[in-house]
A and B are shown apart, each in its own frame.
Chain A
């Protein structure tokens, strides 16, 4: 736990020194304005909830791919990866702490979206089941932390990793139905969305904002957490494998 907290503290300190790390917070307002303007211009107030949820979840994903997934390659570029590997303590909790610190900030786009919706468009959607909403948000942040660890480890394994990471933005937004529910996708694509926890998050959060009762809350939360745990375990294994491989093939650091 001490190593985890140490990693989190380090990451908060780094983000305070590098405002570029907070790029996602600057791009989210544009996403908010784009999506809200589309539904308001089309006179579809019933879809305002979708336009609020999408930037929130896109922001969470943006922090994951834009910052959390870069933690390990950043260490390699700064030539601190080998120091961490040579240290007597385990490095995994430190990296997980750093990633968790980033993902805590992933909640900020939620407030940003609500604030901009109110200030610029004069709308805020009601949340009829706030406990379900916040539980889904917390589960999503947890699942995103696990996913980020997995992505961060995979970044060490390929020279093309930045291409893959850049690719994994709109395809994920589309498949997970953060704005447009999955049933609007072609049928052959719909099964893919089940393995992306964001699709469960988006569905559950949308339902929690609607007036009707939310069915199967426990199971749906469990699905999000379960996918998060799977990613966390997979990430932990992959970090170990990636660091071992880097040691074996001599790519722990660059010249």
Chain B
């Protein structure tokens, strides 16, 4: 366990080095954060056009959480990039497991996503007259982190399937977070969708976590909040387990048929 944590630490250092080479604090703040804040405003303004403060509340809160999903699922691109860089063969030969590196590849981006969502929760609700239950609302970032972990695990699972089709990575990334933003209760309640689609959303990340956040903001029963957060963590664990199995299968297949090459 300690060895794996050391691998994870070095993986995080490498990820941070790559991230900070691509993104400076200025570009993150003025290009990325502000772009996502405007995205949330775009949907909140639709609520204003609909003429209902209830709609503004619903759309703003949903999108404040949803903008985090973009960063959380970037792990799809990063995992494919890791595979293409040719390090898999070295990791398979090493005494450690490749899983730690692959499953931890996008944690820096997850941190970015949670930071974006937290900033958005601080800045935007007053602009749209959305009331948050302060000081209790200080717990919202923790719930966003739970949703973020869930989205991240889902992203790693998608990444494990896309590794064999690197040219589809951008498509996979966009489809992955758009599915969550469209169907998981961000803009309309999941009850709006047909039964079969609602069943699908119950095993997707964000659905339960967002329900918990909405219930918490509406000062609903603590049991509802906790139950939905536990369900969200359960969904996260399930996606992570599938991702781990899928990554292992990829390596087994690669060793069998000689496709663990040094570069994509």
In the docked arrangement, what's the CA distance between A253 and B59, Å? 46
A residues near B34, Cβ cutoff 8 Å: 167, 171
Cross-interface CB contact of A171 among B38, B55, B178, B189, cutoff 8 Å: B38
Contacts of B174 in A (CB 8 A): 23, 26-27
Residue contact A20 to B167, C-beta cutoff 8 Å: yes
Q: Are B42 and A167 in contact (CB under 8 A)?
A: no
In the complex, the answer to whether A37 meets B188 with C-beta atoms within 8 Å is yes
CB of A179 within 8 A of CB of B42, answer yes
Residues from 129 to 187 in A contacting B, C-beta threshold 8 Å = 160, 163-164, 166-167, 169-171, 173-174, 179-181, 184-185
**Does A127 make an interface contact (CB < 8 A)?**
no
Please, what's the 1-or-0 string for A38-69, where 1 marks a CB less than 8 Å from any CB in chain B? 11011010010010000000000000000000
Main secondary structure of the interface of A (DSSP, over half): helix
The answer to whether A30 and B181 touch across the interface, beta carbons within 8 angstroms, is yes
Inter-subunit contact A160/B27 (CB<8 Å): yes
Contact with A along B22-57 (1 / 0, CB 8 A): 000001001110110011011101101110100100
Q: Complex: how many Å from CA A19 to CA B27? A: 30
- In contact, B175 and A26 (Cβ under 8 angstroms): yes
Which residues in A have their C-beta under 8 angstroms from that of B50? 38-39, 42, 44, 47
Complex Cα distance, B20 from A65, in Å, reads 24
Query: Complex formed: what's the CA distance from A35 to B30 in Å?
Result: 27
> How distant is the Cα of A26 from the Cα of B27 in the complex, in angstroms?
28
Interface size on A, residues (CB 8 A): 32
Question: Could you give, for residues 144-185 of chain B, a 1 whenever the CB lies within 8 Å of some chain A CB and a 0 otherwise?
Answer: 000000000000000000000001101100110011011000
Check if A30 sits within 8 Å of B171, measured CB to CB.
no
Are A38 and B171 interface neighbours, CB within 8 A?
no
Q: Are A34 and B182 in contact (CB under 8 A)?
A: yes
* B15: interface (CB < 8 Å): no
Q: In the complex, what distance in Å separates the CA atom of A170 from the CA atom of B59?
A: 16
State the CA gap A38–B35 with chains docked (Å): 22
Please give, as numbers and ranges, the residues of chain A lying within 8 Å of B39 by CB-CB distance.
169-170
CB distance from A161 to the nearest CB of B (A): 11
Do the beta carbons of A180 and B45 come within 8 Å of each other?
yes
Q: Mark interface residues in B78-95 (1 if CB within 8 Å of A CB, else 0).
A: 000000000000000000
Pair A47/B49 contact, Cβ less than 8 Å: yes
**Smallest CB gap from A165: residue in B:** B31
Q: Are A170 and B35 in contact (CB under 8 A)?
A: yes
At the interface, yes or no: A33 with Cβ under 8 Å from chain B? yes
Whether B196 is near chain A, meaning CB under 8 Å from some CB there, is: no
Q: Is B134 an interface residue (CB 8 A)?
A: no
User: Which of B49, B50, B187, B192 has the largest number of chain A CB atoms within 10 A?
Assistant: B49
Q: Which of B42, B170, B192 contacts A41 (CB 8 A)?
A: B192
Residues of chain B with a CB closer than 8 A to A47's CB: 49-50
Contacts of B48 in A (CB 8 A): 180, 184
When distances are taken between beta carbons in the complex, the residues of chain B under 8 Å from A185 are 45
A residues lining the B interface (CB < 8 Å): 19-20, 23, 26-27, 30, 33-35, 37-39, 41-42, 44, 47, 50, 160, 163-164, 166-167, 169-171, 173-174, 179-181, 184-185
Ordered by A's residue number, 12 sampled pairs between the chains whose C-beta atoms are within 8 Å are A34-B182, A37-B192, A38-B43, A38-B188, A166-B32, A167-B30, A169-B39, A174-B45, A180-B42, A180-B46, A184-B45, A185-B45
Given contacts A30-B175, A35-B46, 17 further A-B contacts (CB under 8 A): A20-B167, A23-B170, A26-B175, A27-B174, A27-B175, A30-B179, A34-B187, A37-B187, A38-B50, A42-B52, A42-B55, A47-B49, A160-B27, A163-B27, A171-B34, A184-B48, A185-B45
**Lowest 5 A-B CB distances belong to which pairs?**
A30-B178, A163-B31, A170-B39, A41-B188, A167-B31
